């Protein structure tokens, strides 16, 4: 079990291989379909996004609101595949790591290899458990999107598995029998 402090470094990523179990501590930013679409359209017009993408770890998630005083409640991963078409551009913009669930496309794998990034899997369907690892949360972009807004999450020992490492090895390829 590896422990990594965010923001994740190239050195951290270099030492990871598909299937490794990791505990992440630090800042994650939630971003799903609509935010990705907005970012890509913004890049065309050279707009500045509300968060610093360079070095960021994105979490594909739309949390439930929190019971006060918590800002978020249940926060498990959504299906990463829906963000595939936007991901190469996000990695071009400097995103270093992504957390979600499910397989990624060959184009995403190629972009991960090119940029020496990493894709993590969060335990699918464990929204309550993952929510309990979030120590602080606040909305930092697009509040009008409700659950799809960008949330800045401070997490501690957030359990993930390396899905695709910087060499393009895919945990799904090695494990799923046809």
| Contacting positions for other proteins (CB under 8 A) | 19, 61-67, 73-76, 78-79, 81, 101-103, 121, 123-129, 131-132, 146-147, 159, 161, 171-172, 175-177
101, 160 contact by CB (below 8 A): no
CB of 87 to other proteins, least distance (A): 16
| Cβ distance to other proteins smaller for residue 96 or 170 | 170
Whose structure tokens read 């991960």? Answer: 112
| Cβ distance to other proteins smaller for residue 36 or 115 | 36
| Cβ distance to other proteins smaller for residue 56 or 162 | 162
DSSP string, 87-139: HHHHHHTT--EEEEBS---HHHHHHHHHHT-EEEE--TT-HHHHHTTEEEEEE
- DSSP assigned state of 142: -
CB of 18 to other proteins, least distance (A): 11
Catalytic residue at 36? yes
CB of 132 to other proteins, least distance (A): 6
36, 54, 115, 151: the catalytic one is 36
DSSP string, 147-174: GGSEEEEEEEEEEEEEEE-TT--BHHHH
User: Known catalytic residues?
Assistant: 36
């Amino acid at each position: 079990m590896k422990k990594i402090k965010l923001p994740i470094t190239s050195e951290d990523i270099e030492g990871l291989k598909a299937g490794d179990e990791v505990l992440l501590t630090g800042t994650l930013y939630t971003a799903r379909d609509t935010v990705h679409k907005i970012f890509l359209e913004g890049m065309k017009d050279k707009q500045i996004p509300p968060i610093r993408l360079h070095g960021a770890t994105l979490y594909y998630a739309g949390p439930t609101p929190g019971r006060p005083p918590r800002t978020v409640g249940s926060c498990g991963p959504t299906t990463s595949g829906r963000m595939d078409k936007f991901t190469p551009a996000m990695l071009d913009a400097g995103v270093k790591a992504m957390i979600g669930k499910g397989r990624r496309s060959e184009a995403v794998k190629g972009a991960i290899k090119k940029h020496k990034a990493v894709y993590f899997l969060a335990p699918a369907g464990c929204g309550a458990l993952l929510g309990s690892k979030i120590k602080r949360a606040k909305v930092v972009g697009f509040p009008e999107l409700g659950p799809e807004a960008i949330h800045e999450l401070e997490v501690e020992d957030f359990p993930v598995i390396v899905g695709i490492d910087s060499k393009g090895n895919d945990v799904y390829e090695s494990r799923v029998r046809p």
